[in-house]
Chains A and B, each alone.
Chain A
Amino acid sequence: MQVPAPFEYARATSVADALELLERHGPEARVLAGGHSLLPMMKLRLARPDWLIDLGDLAELRHLIRDGDWLRVGALTTHADLLASAQVGRLLPIVHDAERVIADPVVRNRGTIGGSLGQADPAEDLSTVCDVLRARVVITGRAGERVIGMEEFHRGPYETACEQHELITEVRFPVRPRSGSAYEKVERRVGDWAVAAAGAALVLADDGTIADASIGLTALGLSGLATDAAAVLLGTHPSEEVFAEAGRLAAAASSPVEDQRGPVDYKRHLAEELTRRVLRSAAERAGAGALTAVQGG
């Protein structure tokens, strides 16, 4: 069995302690939460930190708090915690959609939201979810906290705005009335990374038109949101036609690469297909009436 190279280990007793340990042990120190991204990389010896700072005891980072128009999720909240929360399912159904297809139930018992965002894998589902929901990320350093939007958080594949000596401590989701959201992923098998996935959130105005829309894609070579696709929805009544147009624009915004999961044309097709599907679900969840029937496919 593959095993990690040697390293030193320290368990943090508080956020402040973790930050102090990170600073003390320098650039080759990594924080360890659930371990399900980092430890496999270490076993393959693709990652070889000198120090691991274990955050496992920081219960203060494992919380789900409704705070006015925000849902605050501690960075050490596990996938299983999110999935077990009826509140999350009610307010942010896209999170449950995504969590049901992230890895497998045993991995979800350990993997954390902070770890997922920090890993910044381009095929990571929760990053898309956070984009779509316009989440804000709390990053804590020794000088204090900063709260940033996802567009600022992303720095590219496997890179984020969270610096070596900082911690992701919380993710904040806006809770909006008359909103709906959804996520759908195509995978080769349960537990696999996405061939492609799409997420969407819609907010309806009193007259039933779309007041706000966001569309995100996973594993499709799009960084951030598909803004053109979302823009065509604004001010329209939810309909198959407009969703189809958004799907086309989302596909146009994608730039997938061929890999073992599929060729470019298939993935671009999925961008369109899945965008349409999640828009339908999101609209329905936002309380839109029946859409004009157009044959899917």
Chain B
Amino acid sequence: MTAVEHRPANPAATSADRPIGFGRIQRKEDPRFVRGKGRYVDDIVLPGMLHGAILRSPVAHARLVSVDTTEALAHPKVHAVITGRDLEGLNLAWAPTLSADVQAVLATDKVRFQGQEVAFVVAEDRYAARDALELIDVEYEELPPVIDARRALDPGAPVIRDDLAGRTDNHVFDWEAGDAAETDAVFAAAEVVVAQEVVYPRVHPAPMETCGALADYDPVDGTLTLYETTQAPHAHRTLFAMVAGIPEHKIRVISPDIGGGFGNKVGIYPGYILAVVGSIVTGRPVKWMEDRSENLMSTSFARDYIMRGEIAATREGRILAVRTHVLADHGAFNATAQPTKYPAGFFSIFTGSYDLQAAHCAVTGVYTNKAPGGVAYACSFRVTEAVYLVERMVDVLAAELGMDPAELRLRNFIRPEQFPYRNKTGWEYDSGDYEPAMRKALEMAGYDELRREQAEKRARGELMGIGVSFFTETVGAGPRKHMDILGLGMNDGAEVRVHPTGKAVVRLSVQTQGQGHETTFAQILAEELGIPPEDIDVVHGDTDRTPFGLGTYGSRSTPVSGGAVALAARKVRDKARAIAAAMLETRPEDLEWEKGRWYVQGDPSAGRTIAEIALGAHGTVALPEGVDGNLDAEVTYDPPNLTFPFGAYVCVVDVDRGTGKVRVRRFVAVDDCGTRINPMIIEGQVHGGLADGVGMALMEFIGFDEQGNCLGGSFMDYLIPTAMEVPDWETGHTVTPSPHHPIGAKGIGESATVGSPPAVVNAVVDALAPLGVRHMDMPCTPARVWAAMQGRATPPI
């Protein structure tokens, strides 16, 4: 193995060595997982629980003529069969999406994508529920579907959303950023302009645990307890209150252990609502868990951007401007999850890591007869698409100029003294120091030696490719003056309590799906208060037990809730100072802090630990004026800006000339996420994202045939890398703290998913360069690579 960043041999083996605060410690959540004692939604069993199953449309576009449930209702184990008609009576047939569109909970007028929800069966057990689906008789009158997004706005295209009053086409939105005239002027005067259509095809987050819910409605007191696979329990509760008419204080959303999210578990899916309706109708708890095909065919996909990119430069390799027009396929309902003012997410950061004179992007969103979604799969609100476009374009430019792609990037980086840097589409990059990260990645990779090896191989006719990418993310949404979802400001909370014995609890509004929040957030509190992480309980995923906030996605947990925890801890610390002063009979300003303890300046032996102060606070110490008898604090954090993690990646591939098969031989990743809380967890986040990148670049793809049949509807065809397709990752880091974040942390959850696909594709294209290939689109499957080798590269859609 060639892991470069190996840790010391004895990683915190004993508690004496274990850091109190930041550093590598084992995860607090692991003991239950390794014993099989995790508690996921499908593990929960309630007395009298029934099981739901959804009948889905087999066709992409059809008028719903009739739904006959007679036979299904006669099944001895069936308790209820719910149709769109039934929901109309409850005013629940349509639900608002996170993009202020509506989505059918169960179809009433038409079906608009293959896999759309048509009826819901509630039965004694999951087998009977499945059996009953076969007994429902649905008559469809098929309509021509709109599958190719490029044809969606054709004058004669069938109108998908005829449910929306006055709708005569499939247009969702037009949105732009940057200055078009200024950009056009730079392009007109530029020495070199290259253009390339770059397609980021539809992919799917496909967490190993599918989506599901267990709804328990108590008809006596009107309370709803909803166990849900959700990354955003509070936002879901508020939206359920709005949709279902159940008062918010009567709803408790519990998000227990979650088997991976990656953005798949942000949206509110019809199945969740149907479980609630099923429970209300039957008076018993109802569980619904989707199967894998349902997950891949109906829940939030990602990407599906057709991007026409252009880049302008001087002949010497100074990049001047970028511009693009994007056609965005949003599927049958606009159900993407992003801040209201950003219908294309944060795509406008497609200026990347470069100091440009001008930039302009325009995005057109369209409806098609495909599953809804688009913002998911660790995309940081479409930064993924933005980084992929610019990093592919820079390589196309390098090929045009005959320059080394690493060198071209180094020449154009935003320089450290330019930060905070305002780019041409309005983002203020908080901090960055790009060149050292790039040089470190090149050095770890042995870049010059790789180029020499490549030259030798090319002389022998072998295809070896070296791909470079450099990315800047914008994460941690976000400042409430700019960012909300359905009017809810994108802030998050934390509540800290230090118990009388000095142990503590921190309650979070964000929700882990594997990122290790129970450890990371305990470490933030430990760093701030000096309480060992093992003495801190981290509570999350239960709206009754945690403060309000918008949840975990877009790499926002550490940037937002992490800030909240640090600030709440500092409030506790300040309060502890006042109480310690009272205990030591001195003035607060005479005290100094060392981790875990206030002591008297000049007399270190005279001090009080946090535990002593906590006991004092809850005890009989005479408290100063205005100080409550506790060591608690609560903060809702409104970040002043987003954070801008960055990184440099190098990928090495070998392509089998006879078969087109790509092997990723090496992958070097240097990340800068600012202050590092737990290096082990950070490395894990990076590793997972790199595997995502290899997956998307080489094999993951949700395709459709002309009738709108989903061709990626099971794991037989939606291919995810195994241990055999990915190398042993080589990771490194630099540290450039965020100047505005309370602890300088920037977030790391999605960096590698964002940054790695262009590195892999750039490497594949580099391998094929001797054959005259300048671009090919993902996925780089053997057949598609072979076609590119023949000069016949085609977009996947």
Contact = CB atoms under 8 A, between A and B. Distances in A.
State yes or no: do A and B touch (Cβ within 8 Å): yes
B719 A273 contact: no
Nearest to A40: B716
Most chain A CB neighbours (cut-off 10 Å) among B126, B134, B289, B781: B781
B283 interface: no
Given A1-B291, A266-B786, A296 B722 contact: no
Given A2-B130, A262-B782, A270-B659, A190 B725 contact: yes
A195 interface: yes
B721 interface: yes
Contacts of B719: 188-189, 192
Given A45-B134, A189-B699, A266-B783, A260 B711 contact: yes
Contacts of A3: 126-127, 130
B717 A269 contact: no
B58 interface: no
Nearest to A295: B461
B717 A260 contact: yes
Contacts of A263: 783, 787
B658 interface: yes
A277 interface: yes
A189 B725 contact: yes
Contacts of A186: 659, 661, 782
23 contacts: A2-B130, A3-B130, A45-B134, A186-B661, A186-B782, A188-B719, A188-B782, A189-B719, A189-B721, A189-B722, A189-B725, A192-B719, A195-B782, A260-B703, A260-B711, A260-B717, A262-B781, A263-B787, A266-B783, A266-B787, A269-B786, A273-B659, A297-B461
A277 B722 contact: no
A108 B717 CA distance: 20
B722 to A, nearest CB: 5
Contact of A190 (B657, B660, B722, B783): B722
Contacts of A262: 781-783, 786
A248 to B, nearest CB: 14
Nearest to B660: A266
B9 interface: no
A295 B660 CA distance: 17
Interface string B750-786: 0000000000000000000000000000000111001
B459 interface: no
Interface in B637-661: 657-661
Contacts of A45: 134
B683 to A, nearest CB: 25
Contacts of B127: 3
A27 interface: no
A191 interface: yes
Interface in A264-297: 266, 269-270, 273-274, 277, 295-297
B717 A1 contact: no
Interface string A149-173: 0000000000000000000000000
Contacts of B711: 260
A59 interface: no
A30 to B, nearest CB: 19
Given A3-B127, A192-B719, 19 more contacts: A1-B289, A1-B291, A2-B291, A2-B293, A3-B130, A5-B134, A186-B659, A186-B661, A188-B781, A189-B725, A190-B722, A190-B725, A263-B787, A266-B660, A266-B782, A266-B783, A269-B786, A270-B659, A297-B658
Nearest to B711: A260
Nearest to A274: B659
B131 interface: yes
Interface in A183-216: 186, 188-193, 195
B699 A188 contact: yes
Contact of A191 (B661, B722, B781, B783): B722
B16 interface: no
A261 interface: yes
Interface of A: 1-3, 5-6, 45, 104, 186, 188-193, 195, 260-263, 266, 269-270, 273-274, 277, 295-297
Contacts of A297: 461, 657-658
A121 B777 CA distance: 32
A121 to B, nearest CB: 12
Nearest to B658: A273
Given A260-B711, A263-B787, A273-B659, A5 B461 contact: no
A195 B661 CA distance: 11
A195 B658 CA distance: 14
B724 interface: yes
A6 to B, nearest CB: 8
A221 to B, nearest CB: 16
A3 B133 CA distance: 12
Contacts of A269: 786
Contacts of B699: 188-189
Interface string B257-296: 0000000000000000000000000000000010111000
A2 B657 CA distance: 41
A1 B661 contact: no
Contacts of A192: 716, 719
B658 A296 contact: yes
In the A-B complex, the 4 residue pairs with the smallest Cβ-Cβ separation, listed nearest first, are A262-B783, A190-B724, A273-B658, A189-B719
Interface string B96-140: 000000000000000000000000000000110011001000000
Nearest to B134: A45
Interface in B715-755: 716-717, 719, 721-722, 724-725
Contacts of A1: 126, 289, 291-292
Contacts of A270: 659
Contacts of A195: 782-783
Contacts of A296: 657-658
Nearest to B790: A265
Nearest to A189: B719
A273 B657 CA distance: 10
Nearest to B786: A266
